[in-house]
Structure 1
């Protein structure tokens, strides 16, 4: 572990501006994307909506790399890593998310994705040697309990058939698959092959490979693309592509490298709270005592786990 990584892994890392600012910024942006996605899966297929999002994000990410004066060339093993990241993160994860929202509400999908802290921590330990401390495990359990209460409240508050026209079990399965795909991408990018190249360069190539996979999948399943004429659709796509992808992924993956995969995933818990807040303002979400208790538990678990002392990984 490098000196900067060791410093970032200390107990109060989240209080440091270099980590706290991107942590909160990513949560605020990603918390908004759940609401925006609901406008992307109406007249346009979910597969083509994902493809358009990353077709727009990919050149912007390459442009960011050029502005930062980063080399675009990567060794072969880094390209294999970028292909895997593109498949898991920018194709699999988002495809499953968009499809899940065809069957269950965006709030439920966000809550299920918030459970990513568990596979992130487990995979981080298995693949990167990142430890799972007792305090982190306890914090995770508390946060999961909070998310479960929010999920329970969402189920109780949703009238039968309201905003849910598909198969709830299928939607839940798709959301869990999205979570696992994202978790795999989170962990593998933090390994030696990923750290050997500039993060933005790696993300640019990953998005390119993911875009190619998305377009191939969309064409195979839905046929030729349909370009919507609705300006609101393209504004939403631009927000998801530029702000929700190009701005956030370099920040988030840097947090994964500094905090570890498990603790960085707690960003997802904060994203859930932000998403619920936006739902309160824009969708009339009502905060019941159960929801308030769930949000409180989730935040308490987040703080408990992030204050867990980190130890060097096994060599």
Structure 2
């Protein structure tokens, strides 16, 4: 009698728990960002977040017994991750929320599984199946409908096209960092150590960008701003990024980004309750298509079966 098939990767507790926890936390952070950019320019809000996250991540590395010493190529990777993940990605995202509701920004970023999969294929040789691409196409059609609805009814009164472009820039930046850290240079060092240095380098870049774009630091006195910054830095960064990047390494860059489905549900719910997001027929159809497409893509195999004969892609 043959052994029963192993459970789907996402059903295994060591995968499911961090997968769901990360999604729940990130689903809540999108709305918190809105309060941050209401107090200071987005560029300084990003810098403050990671200036607080960096020492906390170093402390986590030390508490877990991880060495902070890394070879030169790992530091090169950390600089790249600081640039793409902890500077460009978040700067684009924070700026996009000046024009789009937080739920829509979350939905666009949630499509990162498409760019993750493509970059994972190009840079790491990870397979992309036909079913994955079909699901991605369906989800992208849904995104298009949601953006069309946003252009018609956006409660923030911002520039929807510019906001969408900024969110897409953030998505591409994050995808590149996701895939780069899963390569050989990243796997040679403890993940928490790599993240510690990456965030530190990112803070340096963030301060330079903020100073060049909006001038000297602006320090708000509102306790709520600093409470939000602490949540985003300690919970939304130090807790989640080690969990998420480990998922990228175990599931592959494309599949790890599927937690965006749950993130979107939470973020859109918050946006509806607190930002007055309006669910027209167009928006409902777009959301249904986006989620359907993600589910279709999720059911695609992560790794193509061994070619005993000539299996067709899903």
TM-score, structure 2 normalization:
0.89
CA contact (8 A) 2:151 2:160 kept: no
CA contact (8 A) 1:27 1:271 kept: yes
TM-aligned CA distance change 1:236 to 1:313, over 3 Å: farther
- Residues 79-121 of structure 1: per-residue CA shift (max 9 Å, x gap): 0000000000000101111122223332332222222222111
Q: Name 1:256's counterpart in structure 2.
A: 248
TM-aligned CA distance change 1:313 to 1:237, over 3 Å: farther
CA distance in 1, matches of 2:14, 2:90: 28
CA contact (8 A) 2:53 2:237 kept: yes
CA distance in 1, matches of 2:179, 2:91: 19
- Residues 188-225 of structure 1: per-residue CA shift (max 9 Å, x gap): 00000001111111001000000011012112222221
Deviation at 1:274, TM superposition (A): 1.3
CA distance in 1, matches of 2:164, 2:276: 23
Q: Name 2:39's counterpart in structure 1.
A: 43
**Where do 1:176-255 residues align within 5 Å?**
176-255=168-247
Runs of 4+ in 1 over 6 A off after TM superposition: none
Specify the SS of the correspondent of 1:52.
helix
Are 2:267 and 1:267 aligned? Answer: no
TM-aligned CA distance change 1:281 to 1:170, over 3 Å: closer
Deviation at 1:312, TM superposition (A): 6.5
CA distance in 1, matches of 2:285, 2:7: 26
**Where do 1:1-315 residues align within 5 Å?**
12-158=8-154, 162-165=155-158, 167-311=159-303
CA contact (8 A) 2:150 2:160 kept: no
Give the alignment's Cα RMSD to 1 decimal: 2.1
Gaps of 5+ in 1: 1-9
CA distance in 2, matches of 1:283, 1:114: 19
Deviation at 1:45, TM superposition (A): 1.2
Gaps of 5+ in 2: 1-5, 307-314
TM-score, structure 1 normalization:
0.89
Deviation at 1:290, TM superposition (A): 4.0
Deviation at 1:234, TM superposition (A): 0.5
Specify the SS of the correspondent of 1:251.
helix
- Residues 147-198 of structure 1: per-residue CA shift (max 9 Å, x gap): 333333433443xxx3124x33322222111111111001100000001111
CA distance in 2, matches of 1:281, 1:104: 15
CA distance in 2, matches of 1:248, 1:103: 26
